[in-house]
Amino acid sequence: MSGGWESVIPPILAIGLALVTRQVIVALLLGVLVGATLIEGNLFFAFLRVGDQYLLGALANRDHASIILFSTILGGMVGVLSRSGATEGIVHWLSGRVRTRRGGMVSAAVMGTIIFFDDYANTLLVGSTMRPLTDRLKISREKLAYIVDSTAAPVTTVAIISTWVGFEVGLIQDALATLGKSGQAYTYFLRSLPYSYYPLLTIFFVYLTSLTGRDFGPMLNAEKRAVRKGQVLRPGSMPASDAPVISENSTSSSDHKPAHPALAGGPILSVILVTAAGLFFGGRHAALEAGILAPTLRDILNNADSFSVLVWASITGACFAVLLSFLSGRLKLQEALEGYLDGARAMVIAVTILVLAWSLSAVCEELDTAGYLVALSHQVLSARLLPLVVFVLAAAVSFATGTSWGTMAILMPLVFPLGMELPAAAGLSLAVATHIHLATISAVLAGAVFGDHCSPISDTTIMSSLACGSDHVDHVRTQLPYALTVGGVTLLCGYLPVGFGLSPWWSLVLGMACIGLLVWKIGRKPELAPETPGP
């Protein structure tokens, strides 16, 4: 049973239960079980397949194992930094320079923008580094998780150099090859960047709300709770990770002396540098082995193994953290290892959620959920509405499957030729046809990020909750209205008018003006907003 309406039941069930019950692990497990039952036709055998096929398959996947290793080892590094007082040291250093809530939020956004080369590295580094500072400044964990999540994929997907760019350009290159063209993929990608309305407007929204201090909806309630009651977490919440951020219980002799910021900055910087160097040199070596004699930057990114690089970076950072804490006299070797294990153990809940989310994605792939959604969209395809429809379709597939890259891989080969053929068949002018084609390419990438932001089963959404120590469902509940707001503006100001020839630059200006007006009209500062019932 695949490709029919039944194929959307497992993801909808999992997402709905997660939002209603707040029990994301139970919701994901039931979604996998229901999907396996649809495939097997028998509840007993489906129960067995959940274990030996889907859960085991999720763990056996090399890329998945790399992410688990990266997350766990980096969590161990954070544990060492916390035990040694290095986390407290960097917070002490930042506190002398960032004294306000606005400064804390803007600092987190700036860090998320600077670490542009990989969304996983961005999420875990920014979240774990900024969490102790934002806690001290009474910024809710939900707001930090939103800032981290919304400066990860949106920044990475529009960066000139990143792990996403290599993947995106590779998909465009494959689509061009099927049409008998080659050598233009990176140019197409660069030309499509102004049409990346959702990522660009999301980044604008993050900075706008951070600078103005205005929020609305569930996020405003979370911020009022943090400001007025000092509760950065909702009472009764279940954080995705419980790694300590300040070494209050450490037994080291230098507990009460803030460490030099270099003790934390060194390991963090090593992760950044190893990731950047690994992508470049590893990708260059792979390109040369593939027979490319003079690899360009695009060739290097296309051939880089980003998952291996992340593992290299996390191991380097963890070893560096242990070594520095030992050599500086902050910790004995045994204490450093205990700190590492504490940090690694704190990742268990998040890793469990990731494995279940990947299992659900495998179920959706077997049921051909994406194929069913694509088939539905064919009923409303037209030249002028193509970018809008593709954006909505990519968002639906990404939301239901929890994977941005999978969505892009599924849709790009289908919509790339459509973006060329439909405008020509409709007799549109060359200028309008070019707008539509470039906007269609971008809509796949932007829609995948939008759906990813809305979905509680997305790995980057889960990792944002993990890194920031936020309750996962609380993160989804507070982020969803913001993502939908930017998504709605993207449709009305971007992908709808571009089908009628409006320049993407004017669309971006119009979109930013709409977002600015919305935040000004309905946004409130948590210090001044009236009290409302709810968490």
Confidence of residue 9 (pLDDT cuts 50, 70, 90): confident
Q: Which amino acid is at 534?
A: G
Q: Is the pLDDT of residue 17 over 50?
A: yes
The average pLDDT across 346-361 equals 77
pLDDT of residue 152: 86
Choose from 108-112, 123-127, 491-495 the range with maximum mean pLDDT. 491-495
Q: Is the pLDDT of residue 251 over 60?
A: no
pLDDT of residue 532: 59
Residue with the larger pLDDT of the pair 260 and 337: 337
pLDDT of residue 253: 40
pLDDT tens digit sequence for 20-73:
776 768 888 898 999 899 988 888 999 999 988 899 988 888 877 887 887 788
pLDDT tens digit sequence for 206-246:
999 999 999 999 999 999 999 999 899 999 888 866 554 44
Whole-number Cα distances in Å, 210 to 143, 203, 370: 9, 11, 36
Q: Token digits for 482?
A: 């913001």
Mean pLDDT of the chain: 82
What's the CA gap between 205 and 483, in Å, rounded? 10
Q: Is the pLDDT of residue 426 over 50?
A: yes
pLDDT of residue 123: 82
Lowest-confidence region among 93-107, 110-124, 325-339: 110-124
CA 483 to chain centre: 12
With residue 46 as reference, give the H or E element that holds it: helix 43-49
Q: Is the pLDDT of residue 18 over 50?
A: yes
Q: Is 7 helix (H, G, I), strand (E, B) or coil?
A: helix
The average pLDDT across 153-169 equals 73
What's the CA gap between 327 and 382, in Å, rounded? 66
The average pLDDT across 420-449 equals 87
Contact (Cβ atoms closer than 8 angstroms) between residue 400 and residue 8:
yes
Phi and psi at residue 215, in whole multiples of 5°? -140, 170
pLDDT tens digit sequence for 282-303:
888 888 988 888 887 767 877 7
Q: Is the pLDDT of residue 310 over 70?
A: yes
pLDDT of residue 479: 94
Lowest-confidence region among 116-130, 144-158, 463-477: 116-130
CA angle 389, 393, 399 (to 5 degrees): 145
pLDDT tens digit sequence for 312-353:
888 998 999 899 989 888 889 898 899 889 888 877 776 787
CA angle 457, 463, 469 (to 5 degrees): 115
pLDDT of residue 214: 94
The average pLDDT across 107-130 equals 79
What's the CA gap between 206 and 526, in Å, rounded? 16
pLDDT of residue 5: 79
Q: Is the pLDDT of residue 122 over 70?
A: yes
Nearest CA to 217 out of 420, 469, 485, 412 is that of: 485
Q: Is the pLDDT of residue 247 over 60?
A: no
Q: How many CB atoms lie within 10 A of CB 469?
A: 25
Q: Token digits for 378?
A: 């064919």
Q: Is the pLDDT of residue 416 over 60?
A: yes
Residue with the larger pLDDT of the pair 130 and 1: 130
Choose from 15-29, 161-175, 415-429 the range with maximum mean pLDDT. 415-429
Confidence of residue 400 (pLDDT cuts 50, 70, 90): confident
Per-residue burial over 289-324, b if 16 or more Cβ lie within 10 Å, else e, is eeeeeebeebbbbbbbbbbbbbbbbbbbbbbbbbeb
